[in-house]
Chain A
């Protein structure tokens, strides 16, 4: 029963069954009774995560390094627990943006960048091909074990011709299957219902097969788990091998593997395909988030018992990866090993099918289409039907990817264990995580940052995992593993920068993700996003915000006919008719296409070609630009320019108003000055007219009165002389004042003794004061008072002060006191009288020009005979004192209780 023909018949029969299921699923979908509209089917399809690596490799890994294999399933369990937050957001974004693959997702997030999409596609191709090879290897190996047992399944693929190699034919059959069910429709986001149905079925088959062998081993080959465990407990070698200590890399290995599995579950192209792209209903995530972890528990339940049994029982020196086959074979069974083989086959084919669809979509949409759209040739042949072209490209890609996987398997695969290849691919896929996850939550992540981070992570992955793998297979000189590149110790691929003692995966993951995330974040902080990138970043990060569900609005113009031509070339007539379906009963092809229709067309094209290419195509028919953020910003910019202009105008008018205000104030001040000048002129003229009146009157009296008595004549002549003197004095004062005010007063300052000067001044006025009956008291407290001043001018001031005091002293007993004393660094000369004093509000006004102190009418009579002042003496005195650096002011008389004028001058330096 284990003969080659039987095994082959069963195997290809199983594949044929898959065809039937897929076809049934597609037919159901076409008749509207979708089989995949169930959360259970969705959860089972996610179980494509469990590949041949799980099916055979878990037991192998458990036998070699204890329960560490569980981490590979703990990671996805953790991810599914976070499904309500993270995966739901991914699904939401993918459905609104019509995302076709992880490459498309990342490209769309970073401004529909075709270069970034191509980069992701390329990395996926390089990183995942070994994984496909792994599945082919598992099929070949399991077939060989099954057929050759009890001989060791020793084979060298390279020694045989490829047409003898079963895995080559398996690959071809799979290619046909994938082409049939994976490329039925062009629109990748229209989902592959038949294929998903087949995958879900395969997940059931592999679970049943694995549980069967598990139950058989534990309950038939042993008497239940207790029996098995007690036998293991007797063997110290086994106890140690299955302990937690056996995990490579210790604690860091645990964490590293957990993180790796967590990230890979989200970023492996096939996982992204089933989890996100093939999701038909966001709500399915709810059941999947517990059903899928449950599936993982079930399929791992018997891994350790089988590994224990394989190590306890004499199944030959067979590879632990094959225990699930060799154990029932050793028990002489025929049927169960065949079921196990089918289980393994289903695990392997399921992975290959989904992975190939995902990769071929990426290759056609992210690598080939952008190039074709750019080439002139395609533009020239653009009259033709392009939908066929696209499907052709995708089909060729499928065949090429499978062939590439086969070649990798045939040439390199021998030297790797199943686990090794799987984890290497995981680590490659994990490089997408930063761009994907950070991009979903951090709006500031830029295209340049994501691209450079991805490249850096990929390069480190190549250097720390891929190249060492090649070296161990003998394809490269393995010396650099031990000595580092160019003999540099810190460049050893397994101990980069001297980090030793880690398992190679955690080590590679740490450095690659560190570089990836670091560069993504670092570069993003210093680069700017294009407008489209900003829009997309906003749409992605705010995906769960229901207000932001549109992709882009088109402002340009096109006709319905043009859109129809474009769409039918890429999507075919039926799909085009559906997309352009209009409320209008009689659509005309020359009607302008409404923006919503253009957006629908872009979405539809995105589903088929990826967002980047779709944008290019829509741009080619729409005249005018997309109303993207850039345009909105520029409109806003214009508005803000207007606002800015208005603001400036307002500012200008405010400035003008202010200047006007200032002008008004200045004008007011000028008017005031003018008024003061007029007043001054009037006062001067008044003051001049007064003595002039007496002079003229007496001169005329003398002229006309020839017979005037002699005494009268002499009296009148004296009046004329006195008034003329007064007039001269007045003119002199006015000129002084004018000089003071214009700053042209010429003083000749010199060092002088104020004591001497004061005595001199007192002598000058003494006789005059005595004539008027004024008692003058002079108190000089200093022997010498050196000051800097003009002696003539200072004498003028002192005489003026004494003169004033004499005028305002008490009429009956006029007293004046002069006091000279030092005050700190100054010399103070004060002159007081015993007159009525000066009211507080008058004290500054006495220094105003022509200010005459008002005399009370009651004392008017007594003032007779006292010479009137011009009202200029004090202003002039104050000006002179100020020029000499001193001050002149009025205060209460300390002794005589009348007015007191104080002059203060700085003491001259020694």
Chain B
């Protein structure tokens, strides 16, 4: 069963995504900031990460950059989650190697679809 890491500092958002992913049949691991997200990846490498950009401490971009810098995770599917609707950030995220980009508030169905299709591709 695929494992999804959800990184966000808003507990209620984490709660909703955790529920959605479990409902879709994935294992869910959570982290509330960048540092702990990297720790989780090191402990048990996930099959996909849902990564918020605005995080306390190091940002989602930093996490993305570090992961992509590591060849082991170079192809790990990562979907950026952001409350910033700016085009610049979307481009930055994609340029840094994010696989997709979801703007908050998001459609739950669309999010689940994206996760499923990325994991299917990966598989």
User: What is A's interface to B at a CB cutoff of 8 Å?
Assistant: 682, 685-687, 689-690, 692-698, 700-701, 704-705, 712, 716, 719, 722-723, 852, 854-857, 860-861, 863-865, 868
Contact = CB atoms under 8 A, between A and B. Distances in A.
Interface in B33-62: 33-36, 54, 56-58
A64 B29 CA distance: 146
Given A700-B109, A704-B108, A705-B23, A719 B56 contact: no
Given A692-B104, A701-B19, 9 more contacts: A682-B84, A685-B84, A690-B104, A693-B106, A855-B57, A856-B57, A857-B34, A857-B56, A864-B32
A678 to B, nearest CB: 10
Contacts of B16: 693-694, 697-698, 701, 716, 719
B56 A855 contact: yes
Contacts, number: 89
A689 B56 contact: no
Nearest to A856: B57
A737 B34 CA distance: 31
B83 A697 contact: no
A697 B32 contact: no
Contacts of B12: 694, 698, 719, 722-723
Contacts of B72: none
A415 to B, nearest CB: 123
B106 A864 contact: no
A695 B16 CA distance: 9
A722 B23 CA distance: 24
Contacts of A716: 16
Q: Which 3 A-B pairs have the closest CB atoms?
A: A697-B16, A689-B83, A694-B12
Contacts of A860: 32-33, 35-36, 56-57
22 contacts: A685-B83, A687-B83, A689-B104, A690-B83, A692-B104, A692-B105, A693-B16, A693-B104, A694-B13, A696-B107, A696-B108, A698-B16, A704-B109, A705-B23, A719-B12, A723-B12, A854-B56, A855-B56, A857-B33, A857-B57, A860-B35, A868-B9
B11 interface: yes
Contacts of A857: 33-36, 56-58
A860 B55 CA distance: 11
A256 to B, nearest CB: 106
B20 A701 contact: yes
By DSSP majority rule, is chain A's interface helix, strand, loop, or mixed? Answer: helix
B105 A695 contact: yes
Contacts of B107: 696, 700
B108 A685 contact: no
B2 interface: no
B11 A865 contact: yes
Contact of A694 (B10, B35, B57): B10
A697 B86 contact: no
Contact of A868 (B10, B85, B105, B108): B10
A868 B54 CA distance: 13
Contacts of B109: 700, 704
A297 to B, nearest CB: 115
Interface residues of B, number: 30
A232 B16 CA distance: 152
B28 to A, nearest CB: 14
Contact of B84 (A686, A695, A705): A686
Interface of B: 9-13, 15-17, 19-20, 23, 32-36, 54, 56-58, 83-86, 104-109
A883 to B, nearest CB: 32
Contacts of A856: 57
A723 B16 CA distance: 13
A701 to B, nearest CB: 6
A712 B20 CA distance: 13
Nearest to B20: A701
A749 B45 CA distance: 60
A704 B23 CA distance: 11
Given A682-B84, A701-B19, A689 B32 contact: no
A694 B12 CA distance: 6
Contacts of B105: 689, 692-693, 695-697
A698 B15 CA distance: 9
Contacts of A854: 56-57
Contacts of A865: 11
Nearest to A685: B85
Contact of B86 (A682, A693, A712, A864): A682
Contacts of A868: 9-10
Nearest to A715: B15
A697 B108 contact: yes
A868 B10 CA distance: 8
B24 to A, nearest CB: 12
B84 A697 contact: no
Nearest to B54: A686
A865 B10 CA distance: 9
B20 to A, nearest CB: 7
Nearest to B86: A682
A543 to B, nearest CB: 87
Nearest to B35: A857
A856 B19 CA distance: 29
B29 to A, nearest CB: 14
Q: Which of B16, B58, B85 has the most CB of A within 10 A?
A: B16
A693 B10 CA distance: 10
A701 B112 CA distance: 12
Contacts of A685: 83-85
A697 B17 contact: yes
Contacts of B58: 857
A697 B20 contact: yes
B10 A719 contact: no
B52 to A, nearest CB: 10
Given A690-B13, A697-B20, A855-B57, A861 B106 contact: no
Contacts of A694: 10, 12-13, 15-16
Contacts of B85: 685, 689
A390 to B, nearest CB: 104
Contact of B15 (A690, A719, A855): A719
* Residue from the set B12, B34, B56, B83 with the largest chain A CB neighbour count within 10 Å: B12
A48 B10 CA distance: 127
Contacts of A696: 105-108
A686 B85 CA distance: 8
Q: Which of B11, B36, B83, B86 has the most CB of A within 10 A?
A: B83
A688 to B, nearest CB: 8
Nearest to B17: A697
B36 A861 contact: yes
Nearest to B107: A700
Nearest to A678: B86
B9 to A, nearest CB: 8
B121 to A, nearest CB: 24
A705 B19 CA distance: 11
A412 B25 CA distance: 154
B90 to A, nearest CB: 14
Contacts of B108: 696-697, 700-701, 704
Contact of B106 (A687, A697, A712, A722): A697
Contact of A861 (B15, B32, B83): B32
